Structure 1
Amino acid sequence: MMRAADLPGVIPVFPLPGALLLPRARLPLHLFEPRYLAMLDDVLKTPHRLIGMVQPDPNPRAAQEDAPPPLHSIGCAGRVTQFSETEDGRYMITLAGISRFRVTEEVGGFCPYRRVKPSWEGFDRDLARSEKDTGFKRESFLDLLSRYFQAKSLDTDWETLKEADDEMLINSLSMLLSFDPEEKQALLEAPSLSTRRETLVTLIEYALRGGDDHGLLQ
């Protein structure tokens, strides 16, 4: 388990709309752009091997002319735990979620990928053991999820879902279900597991009511 003292003062970031990484969860990624191959090469030389997953901010008021797309203020750093190279030079990697962070500023310089100075303050629970959701009513939640999967013509291993602990179940669904980037951001920024579960339930119920997948959490 990584300690707060081990968290670096600068990390590279991978701005990817709709990609959500949460603490203690795992995210597979496919890297093929030269700048991100360079990023991986540099990251593997560090003791922490952290990459920050952060979504671009779609707010046009935050954009500046001739500048890269602005970033959301909160992302999640993951440690590279697995990687493999394909025959054509691409990489498949797995990030293990370590801690969320707040972007304090972007670091300039002659670097092909983007880097930021993160603030890790306020995310102490991310470095602790898995969270519990004392208000979680699993049976009614799985019933709601079943109706959602049926409406979306999705299939899953229900026995695995029934046996998963609260955090793994809620976080995995938050990462895997098809929500728009701003809804994913709301799930990331939820301060606790219970508030993430409440947000997840709201999104699922909205979809079942025939929501258009846009505008719910703006």
Structure 2
Amino acid sequence: MMHSADLPDTLAVFPLPRAILLPRARLPLHIFEPRYLQMFEDALKTPARLIGMIQPCPGQMDQSGTVSQSEDGLQAIGCAGRVTQFSETEDGRYMVTLSGLSRFRILGEISGFSPYRRCEVSWGGFERDLGAGESDPAFDRAGFLALLERFFLAQGLSTDWGSLQEAEDELLINSLSMLLEFEPEDKQALLEAPCLVTRRETLVTLIEFALRGGAHEDILQ
């Protein structure tokens, strides 16, 4: 089993809003920007083949009420994934699969000549990520799937319900946390949940909120 001490102190990061990676889950990526193509090729040259997925910080509102669209800010916590699969297209793009390894906390950004962003990171506090998969003994799967079916119907989504019913607790909760469309701050809350139980509770709250109409609930009443 890998320990946090075995992980690098610096990490290339890929800022992408509404995209989170969770430990022991898989994230497909389509890489085509030159700076991220370079990042990917450099990652393949390292033993760990790690890329850090992280969300940009939301824009800051100034005194005039204008929201800044600067991409300078990064969330404090992201998740590193190991490149486990990739294929190259005829026009030089890459289809990549990252397998989630561990969350990390940014200590500071490294300045230099790299076209992509690199950060000093700490893995402390996320030792659970490197262990065995988590379980959720109190998980009401039938009730959760019924809620999820209502949500999918309201959103006009479809899925393979047989696969969802057969998926292990962690795979089901983490995959939905990554795939479902929520606001960036909500996705960050799912990422930062300290354990699977908390993540499941957060996910249920977000689904129920969406079914009630979200921010429009007071207007509808």
Question: For the superposition of Structure 1 and Structure 2, which TM-score range results when normalised by the shorter chain?
Answer: over 0.9
1:32 maps onto 2:35 in alignment: no
- The separation in 1 between residues aligned to 2:92 and 2:34, in whole angstroms, is 10
CA distance in structure 1 between the aligned counterparts of 2:97 and 2:2, rounded to whole angstroms:
17
Aligned-residue offset at 1:5:
2.9
| Maintained 8 Å contact 2:104/2:123 | yes
Task: Give the % identical residues.
Answer: 67
Kindly state the Cα deviation for residue 68 of structure 1 after the two structures are TM-superposed.
Answer: 4.9
Q: Specify the alignment match of 1:75 in structure 2.
A: 78
Q: Secondary structure at the match of 2:205?
A: helix
Matches of 1:179 and 1:142, distance apart in 2: 18
Tell whether 2:168 aligns with 1:165: yes
AA at the equivalent of 1:109: G
Please state if 1:94 is matched with 2:97: yes
Q: What is the aligned partner in structure 1 of residue 135 from structure 2? A: 132
Q: Tell me, which stretches of 5 or more residues in structure 2 are unaligned?
A: 62-67, 217-221
TM-score by length of 2: 0.91
1:193 aligns with 2:204: no
For 1:155 and 1:51, the matched residues in 2 are separated by 31
Please provide the CA RMSD for this pair: 1.7
Deviations 1:1-33 (CA, angstroms, capped at 9, x unpaired):
533232101010000001010000000001111
Structure 1 gap segments, 5+ residues each? 214-218
3-state DSSP of counterpart to 2:72: coil
2:156 corresponds to which of 153, 157, 171: 153
Q: Deviations 1:33-89 (Å, cap 9, x if unpaired)?
A: 11011111111000000000000011527xxx9x85210000000000011110001
1:154 is displaced (CA, Å) by 1.1
Distance 2:96 2:161 in 1: 27
Select the residue among 146, 154, 158 that pairs with 1:143: 146
CA distance, structure 1, for counterparts of residue 116 and residue 141 of structure 2: 42
Q: Distance in 2 between matches of 1:68 and 1:57?
A: 7
Give the structure 1 partner of residue 18 of structure 2.
18
Q: Is the 8 A contact 1:2 1:98 kept in 2?
A: no
User: How many residues were matched structurally?
Assistant: 210
Q: 2-side partners of 1:185 and 1:143: how far apart?
A: 25
Give the equivalent residue in structure 1 for 2:112. Answer: 109
